[in-house]
Structures are given as structure tokens and as C-alpha cells.
Amino acid sequence: MINKKVKDVSEAIDGVKSNMTLMFGGFGLSGIPENCIKELSKKEIFNLTCISNNAGVDDFGLGLLLKKRQVDRMISSYVGENAEFERQMLSGELKVDLIPQGTLAERCRAGGAGIPAFFTPAGFGTEVANGKEVRIFDGKAHILETALTSDFAFVKAWKGDEAGNLIFKGSARNFNPLMAMAGKITVAEVEELLPSGELDPNHVHTPGIFVQRIFKGELYEKRIEQLTTRTRKE
């Protein structure tokens, strides 16, 4: 069995260059590849197209890349809690493609499945449909959406083995399995890395065939994107 383990995050991101398209798993700050993003923010890599559900917050997640002006285009479903993302988008400094969340997920899944395009009713009658082919199915208008792929896909899993098989935990599963399929090179960082054969095949969410590099991440902050509390009643 092929051993896909790399020694550290530096080796994991080797080959990432300016002008590439990168996918990042996660939803808000849940399940984001923290180690890979932090390491990329230290590199002199620019004009990136980043595909992610959103862009983290100002000082964490993809917000680190935005702060350094490393991102030229964001393909995502919403701005989230990132004021710098909002500022760059409204000022025209950052190109932004905002896509309905389900459509974004399906475009990533289609890319990984080898499906070049599909029709969906989401976005018809809005700016999302501008310039896109429209067809009627069962009396309902659908627009044509194309698949998304990337030069690198960065995902984060709970457990993985040296063959690249991955298990995600709870809501951190989100976009990660879809994007793992759609990257030409998929890098997985995991909290727990086991020898090949140690994972129960029935529990594997992403087979190792989709993963080219895997490493054990360190010091996961797992920050809460928007902390909401209430005063306890005595």
C-alpha cells in the first residue's frame, strides 16, 4: 500500500505557486486546514484563486491570506465574519464569485466525480443566472453550472492513516470530502495519524485514492467563529 505520509506541513504544501487555484475545506472555522493555511500565509505566494465556503475571520483561517493580499479571487458562498473580506470586496480590490451554498457544494462534488456541468434551479431569476444557459425541466427553469476543480485541495480530518484514508468528525465533515475529490493534489492534515490498516473501512468517509499527501497537524486552535452567550439566571 502506498505510504502518503509527509514529515510536516512545509513538505505538505510544497509545489504551491502564485496564480494557482486552491480549495480549502471547512465551514466558518469548523474543519478548516489550520496548519496549511498558516504555512501558506508565510510564503511569498500571490494572485491565488481560493475556493472555500467563506474566508474565516480577520486574523484566522483564510483571513490570514487576505490580510497579506495573497488572494486575487474568492469563490465562496458568503462573506461570513470577515470584515477585511467585506472591505476588499466592496472596494474592488478582491474579485468575488458568490455562489449559493448548495450550488458551491455540488460544483465541487461534480469536479471530483468528473461531471463537467449540471443544471440547478438555485439562483434562477437573480444575478447568479446572468450569462448562463437556462433550460426548463418539469416546468421549472434551471441554470447551467460548471464543475470546480483546483491545483491543490487542502482538507482537515479527525483521523487518517498513512494510505490517505480519512474520517471526519461531526460538523467538521462539511465541504472537506467534496473538495478532497476535486483537487489535482489533495493535502490532508489530521489530528490523529495511524498506520495503514488501522481504520475500520466501514467508518472511512474519504478513501485514500483521493489523497496524495497526509500529515499530523499540531496545535489546533479550533476557534469559535461567533461566540454567543447569555447571562445565567440564578
What local confidence, expressed as pLDDT, does residue 225 receive? 78
Total domains, the chain: 1
Looking up residue 81, the CATH number of its domain turns out to be 3.40.1080.10
Q: Name the residue with higher pLDDT: 56 or 37.
A: 37
* Predicted model pTM: 0.93
Q: Give the pLDDT confidence of 184-227 residue by residue, as tens digits.
A: 999 999 999 999 999 999 999 999 999 999 999 998 888 877 77
Short-list 40, 38, 73, 50, CA closest to 150: 50
Residue 224 DSSP symbol: -
Residue ranges making up the domain that contains 187: 9-116+148-216
Is 229 among the domain residues? no
Rounded to 5 degrees, φ, ψ at 55 are -120, 35
Rounded to 5 degrees, φ, ψ at 202 are -70, -15
Are 149 and 107 in contact by the 8 Å Cβ rule? The answer is no
Query: Helix-strand-coil percent breakdown of the chain, rounded to 5?
Result: 25, 30, 45
Q: Is the pLDDT of residue 80 over 80?
A: no
Is 1 among the domain residues? no
Cell numbers at 27, concatenated: 465551514
Where residue 81 falls among pLDDT bands split at 50, 70, 90?
confident
Q: How far apart are CA 213 and CA 8, in angstroms?
A: 10
